[in-house]
Amino acid sequence: MNRGLRRLARRVVGPQVAVWFHPAYRLPVPAPHLAGHASPRRAADALTWALELGVVSHQEVHEAPELRWEDAERVHDTGYLGALDQPSSIAQILALDEAVVSASELLETWRRACGATLEAARWARRHRGRGVNLLGGFHHAHADRGGGLCALNDVAITVATLRRDGFDGPVAVIDLDAHPPDGIVALLGDDPRVTVLSLSGASAWEVPGAVAATVHDQRVPRGCDTRGYLQALDTLLQHLPLQPRPGLALYLAGADPLEGDPLGGLAVSEGGLQLRDRRVFAALSGVPTVALSAGGYLETSWRVLAGTLAE
């Protein structure tokens, strides 16, 4: 099926879809080992491809708004947030020399990505559809610290803000980045109506235990191939709540499980990640969903993100 027909079929039988993007969707730092994530081309190339092939229309693309600091303060310490305008703080999060860091540019990137996740969630709940944020899923950020390229935790901010707005329904977080969601569990662990399903590789990142949220932290061995990965995914998805169904799902569709990714450590094919997306969206049928780009550190990572858009 060509992409134009796929888009038509999705409009007839599938969910309504909207996409969030901004030209600031990049990490403007010289980090060749993070080429796919740091390049301005990842989100832009995925969106250009989707527009040219009719997967999405220009009317379905929304500009990412900047997150309000008062929303960030729902999960992050004010002192930590106040220090984020300092190059030294940003450099520590990115593991870079502060001389090459532009704090203002990076803060705009993070704030717009986080603002878009929140807006996409509101849109998905309002339309019972699927929002796709082309930069998001900063799952390593904690209340008082960042790390792993994550300064602000958009997933936790979104859930906490929706709770403030009166939404008290079940939330599912499906994190299929190659690294586990330590920050998400730390920040949402006190919410018993949150379920976190994570499938990642062996990692030094540790997910907190003994929390009120339901957490399924599943690991696959280094070098896990497509078949093993999809088998593990099928097992993980059996833990998705059925009664009641989630009132919102946030899906971190990481590209870093892709074979050859310098930070992912797994060996999943591009086609395997397309099957992954398909299975996740099938499991979430009828659930308002936000898909997030999460990690991906190859120049070809944009193709995985484009595939997520096409499903």
Q: How many domains does the chain have?
A: 1
Q: Do residues 251 and 284 touch, judged by C-beta distance below 8 A?
A: yes
Q: Given a cut of 90, is residue 231 above it in pLDDT?
A: yes
Q: Given a cut of 90, is residue 60 above it in pLDDT?
A: yes
Could you tell me the two tokens for 281?
Answer: 């969206």
- What does the DSSP 8-state code read for residue 239? T
pLDDT mean over 85-109: 85
**What's residue 139's pLDDT?**
98
What is d(CA 290, CA 173) in angstroms, rounded to the nearest whole number? 10
- Per DSSP, the residues of 262-308 read TTT--BB-HHHHHHHHHHHHHHTTTS-EEEE-----STTHHHHHHHH
- Range with the poorest average pLDDT among 57-61, 205-209, 290-294: 205-209
Residue-range definition of the domain harbouring residue 238: 3-310
Query: What angle is formed at CA 247 by the lines to CA 242 and CA 252, rounded to 5 degrees?
Result: 90
pLDDT level of residue 307 (50, 70, 90 thresholds):
very high
pLDDT mean over 156-174: 98
**What's residue 9's pLDDT?**
46
What is d(CA 163, CA 144) in angstroms, rounded to the nearest whole number? 21
**What's residue 225's pLDDT?**
98
pLDDT mean over 232-259: 96
For residue 24, what is the domain's CATH number? 3.40.800.20
Q: Do residues 195 and 241 touch, judged by C-beta distance below 8 A?
A: yes
What is d(CA 209, CA 95) in angstroms, rounded to the nearest whole number? 27
Best CA proximity match to 25, nearest among 308, 296, 269: 296
